[in-house]
Amino acid sequence: MHLKEKIMLSDREKAIIQLVAQAKGRKAIASELKLSIHTVDTHLRHIHLKTNTHTVSELLLWAINTERLLISPNYE
């Protein structure tokens, strides 16, 4: 894949990446988005395929480096 090719992520995939960046697990993501864990796993699998990443760390680095998503700390 060329660096200039645009990777299309759905709004749901972006939301899942943002929740992963907040250190939320699969169960918490599923609960927050009102999805099954299986659906979250499917979205994560598709995200990893689209972004050519294999781990959460690689995925978050991809998100930061490509500036596709704003990942900010969640200070409460």
Delineate the domains of the chain, giving CATH numbers in brackets. Answer: 11-66 (1.10.10.10)
pLDDT of 64 reads 87
pLDDT of 1 reads 46
Q: Where are the alpha helices (DSSP H) in 22-55?
A: 26-33, 37-51
Q: How many Å apart are CA 56 and CA 47, to the nearest integer?
A: 11
Taking the model in full, what pTM does it have? 0.80
pLDDT of 65 reads 86
Spatial CB neighbours of 20, under 8 Å, sequence gap ≥ 6? 29, 44, 56, 59, 60
pLDDT per residue as tens, the chain (76 positions): 445 567 889 999 999 999 999 999 999 999 999 999 999 999 999 999 999 999 999 999 998 888 666 555 554 4
